[in-house]
Amino acid sequence: MLDQLDEISSPHPPHILRTFMPLVPLYGSLEDDDNFKRLIDDVCRLVELNPVPWLDVHLDREAIFKRSDQRTLCKVNELVYLLKAEADGAQFWCCKSMANVHYAAQLEESGIRPYYIHLYRDGRDVALSFKKAVVGHKHVYHIARQWALDQDRSLELHETLGSRRVIGISYEHLLASPRQTLTAICAFLGVKYSDQALSYYQSEEASNTAKSGKMWENVVKPILVKNTCKYRGQLSAEEIRIFESVAGSTLQRLGYSLDFPDSPKLVFTEEQIMAFDRENSILRKEAKKLITPAELRSREKQESLVAEIRLRETSYSTTTP
């Protein structure tokens, strides 16, 4: 939706920070020009291998190097998105990677000072969605833990930075009142709202995203107004109780009511958690079998790049004095 507004460039996320934060130490000192240029090139390659292509932009490595006033991954991430925004004639760039909240400290330390949009959804519906997806955890216990971690971190960020820098948006409210919700986001950012945002499903970006995999097929459909509380008909009572036992307090912090408020909170033994782990592992392997060959090839490109970086940089660091 935001990508349809003239002032905002919001391409499909290649997950730059999530992918490269663990890899940065392999590059050595980024004050060394060669090391920093190697990082810039690898980040650009990750974007260029994204399952959903970034259209109409050339990622000029030398321009990123010259415009970097600090040698950090956060700065490279910012400049890559800036190049895309400039190509789109947009004032704002928007990175939609959910993992960014876990790197907010590094973003803040870099001086970039972005706005944050915390889009949250009933975690039980999130669990149902991930159970069907080809990526992510599959057991409700693991989904609940990850969801609670992400939401608690987002709420902490909101408390720390305040409402001038962070806006909380309910997914359910977005479905029920999209124009009102988008108008609020635009007012928060200081950009002009346009109803063209509601025609997102007709855009080239939506079409390309939907073609990248089954989990994105709904982006070429109008707003699914009734896409809420589906978990009540598709999760078992036991699964709902597990989720609420793990993440009930986070659900309530976000304004959701519990389905089993009077039931005692489940406490899991080490043996039960090990059993959950085994089931989660099996279900994740089964889910991967549902990936189409074309989607698998598309995903493997970025995975191969990361494997190449690990092998190359490890070899470089162990053979170079």
pLDDT in tens, 205-253: 999 888 887 778 899 999 999 999 999 999 999 999 999 999 999 999 9
User: Do 184 and 3 touch, CB atoms closer than 8 A?
Assistant: no
Return d(Cα 217, Cα 211) in angstroms, integer.
7
Bigger pLDDT: 159 vs 295: 159
- Taking the CB of residue 235, how many other CB atoms lie within 10 A of it? 20
Bigger pLDDT: 264 vs 299: 264
Q: Rounded to two decimals, what is the model's pTM? A: 0.92
Return d(Cα 190, Cα 127) in angstroms, integer.
34
Task: Give me 215's structure tokens.
Answer: 């989990």
Q: 315 pLDDT band (50/70/90 cuts)?
A: low
Task: Give me 187's structure tokens.
Answer: 């007012």
Whether residue 318 is predicted with pLDDT greater than 70 in this model: the reply is no
* Angle, alpha carbons 38-110-16 (nearest 5°): 45
Q: 296 pLDDT band (50/70/90 cuts)?
A: confident
User: Do 141 and 246 touch, CB atoms closer than 8 A?
Assistant: yes
State CA 267 to chain mean position distance: 30
Question: Could you tell me which residues are beta bridge partners of residue 169?
Answer: 119
Task: Give me 146's structure tokens.
Answer: 């990850």
Q: What is the DSSP letter of 13?
A: P
Task: Give me 302's structure tokens.
Answer: 């970025």
Q: At what angle do helices 123-132 and 140-161 cross, to 10 degrees?
A: 130
Longest CA–CA separation in the chain, Å: 63
Task: Tell me where in the chain the CATH 3.40.50.300 domain(s) lie.
Answer: 115-290
Q: What is the CATH topology of the domain spanning 115-290?
A: Rossmann fold (3.40.50)
Instruction: Report helix, strand or coil for 12.
Output: coil
What pLDDT sits at residue 295? 81
Q: At what angle do helices 293-319 and 33-48 cross, to 10 degrees?
A: 170
User: Do 200 and 206 touch, CB atoms closer than 8 A?
Assistant: yes
pLDDT in tens, 161-189: 999 999 999 999 999 999 999 999 999 99
pLDDT in tens, 73-129: 999 999 999 999 999 999 999 999 999 999 999 999 999 999 999 999 999 999 999
